[in-house]
Amino acid sequence: MQATKKQTLYDTLRQRVLTLELAPGSALDETILCEEFGVSRTPLREILQRLAAHGYLEITANRGATVSSMNLSVMRSFFQTAPMIYASISRLAAENATPVQTTQLKAEQRQFRIAVKRNEVIDMAMSNHRFHEIIGEMAASPYLLPSLQRLQIDHTRMSQTFYKSRNRTDHERIDSACEQHEQLIEAIEKHQPATAVDITRQHWELSRHQFERYVQPDPLPIDPLSPIQAPTQVDNHAL
């Protein structure tokens, strides 16, 4: 019966980490979470163990759980690893995707479009996350999936700023991403690995550009009195 309760617990905490509702590095209070979810500490702690092993949390002995930190030292490795893993996953997905999975993917893309249209930040982040997660499932590679999932945790968290942005250029980029999703679905459905890899590469480049601005904000104008030409509202407090 209460397998549902534990799953809810896992999913909810996971979402809070991914949407930055729980800030990187922040501590989790077992007692408070127990009250909130109406469970005792035993099952809660088992879930925390799982979340930690999956990379969402970090557990230190006798000092409890904290949300996984996103430090700059791993960024390099993120940018090195992501394109390779994403490309491999897309290739395998295009080779192995079943019709049922393609249907799932299309459904998730509809959710994403709706969230984009309504400008619902959390829904955008989560449906985009789920979209790429489904592609991961399509790849059917238990050995590649763990790395994809680790990448996605930080990718989704970094994307928050992107989704939250009320900037014109960013909105256009979100639309581009949405269009790339459609193309990717088509390539996967038609079993065209090469095309899928290429679109994935473009999709990654779009993200990468965004992240570069995020990590390294636009330089200040030379003349501090002249108005800033392209007013970008990037807040990089999270990193």
Partner DNA sequence: TGAATTTTTATTGTATACAATATGTATTTT
Partner DNA sequence: AAAATACATATTGTATACAATAAAAATTCA
Nearer to a second copy, 45 or 173 (CB): 45
- Return the number of other C-beta atoms located less than 10 Å from residue 24's C-beta: 17
Q: How many residues bind a second copy (CB under 8 A)?
A: 34
| 106 interacts with, out of a second copy, DNA, none, CB within 5 to 8 A per kind | none
Quickly count: other Cβ atoms within 10 Å of residue 99's Cβ. 8
Residue 91 is a binding residue for DNA (CB under 7 A): no
How far CA 136 is from CA of 16, 45, 75, 95, 193, in Å, comes to 21, 28, 22, 12, 14
Residue 208 phi/psi, 5-degree rounding, is: -60, -45
Tell me phi and psi for residue 40, to 5 degrees: -85, 175
Q: Is 62 in the site for a second copy (CB under 8 A)?
A: yes
The whole-angstrom distance between residue 105's C-alpha and the CA centroid of its chain comes to 16
Contact code string over 69-88 relative to a second copy, x by CB under 8 A: -----x--xx-xxx-xx--x
Q: In the set 1, 72, 100, 222, which binds DNA (CB under 7 A)? A: 1
Residue 58 pairs in a beta bridge with 66
Contacts with 171 (C-beta within 8 Å, 6 or more apart), sequence order: 165
The binder of a second copy chosen from 12, 141, 183, 232 (CB under 8 A)? 141
12 lies in the binding site for a second copy (CB under 8 A): no
Query: Per rule CB under 7 A, is residue 50 in the interface with DNA?
Result: no
Positions in the binding site for DNA (CB under 7 A): 1-3, 5-6, 27-31, 38-43, 45-46, 59, 61-65
The residues that touch a second copy, with contacts defined as CB under 8 A, are 3, 42, 45-46, 49-50, 52-55, 61-62, 74, 77-78, 80-82, 84-85, 88, 92, 140-147, 149-151, 154
